[in-house]
Amino acid sequence: MLVKICGIQTKTAAEVAVKSGADFIGFVFAKSKRKIEPEAAATIAESIPDYVKKVGVFVNESIDRMIEIAEIVGLDYIQLHGDETADIARKLPYKVIKAFAVEPKNIFTISDYPCDFYLLDSPKGKYRGGNGKTFNWKLIHQLTIDSSKVLVAGGLSSENVQEAITLVNPAGVDVSSGVETDGVKDYKKIKQFIQLVKQTGKDENIDNLHHA
């Protein structure tokens, strides 16, 4: 089971996540309380081993700017968390994670999209993602997309992630606020969350998964 720790802002938090077994480290470059400048992310990225994939989160950003930041930081994936069209995804020379808000009214609009992973998240709050709220995981069973391309996000924590994995059986999970205390990454929570996920889910190697 793959684990993405998102909203990383310090080298220590990244190192704790890597040592605990994280598969993805996420940097937020969109408007958010977890936003980080590309140069700061690049410094942190230098300490992240190649087998842990670096993800940049963007919301309705220009293609040129996303590529520019990806090159500065050394990203492996670009996560589109806004209203980006499939055409934008096709033009990116990087692997793509596309976030979709899951709610009954739009469940059938989540379909064929040119991405490596579908990040299924809660409906947006003040910001796109990172709102700490879950959604009805059972809605995912109505989707026709390949479950090996599904990452579940939205309000996950050590208290509920095992239930989410058992119900959805995704390729992986994504957490940000669920491993924080008072808005700051909590190293104990990061370790506990990753340990629970790895105990619960199937063993996945990110480099051995075959994606579009």
121 given a catalytic annotation: yes
Give the active site residue among 6, 115, 116, 174.
6
In the numeric block, the tokens 């520019």 are attached to 68
150-152/117-121 β-pairing: parallel
**What are the start-end ranges of the E strands in the chain?**
2-5, 24-28, 53-58, 77-80, 95-101, 117-121, 150-152, 172-175, 180-181, 184-185
Question: Is 153 exposed, middle or buried, given 0-12, 13-18 or 19+ CB atoms closer than 10 A?
Answer: buried
Give the active site residue among 23, 76, 116, 121.
121
23 given a catalytic annotation: no
Which residue numbers are catalytic? 6, 121
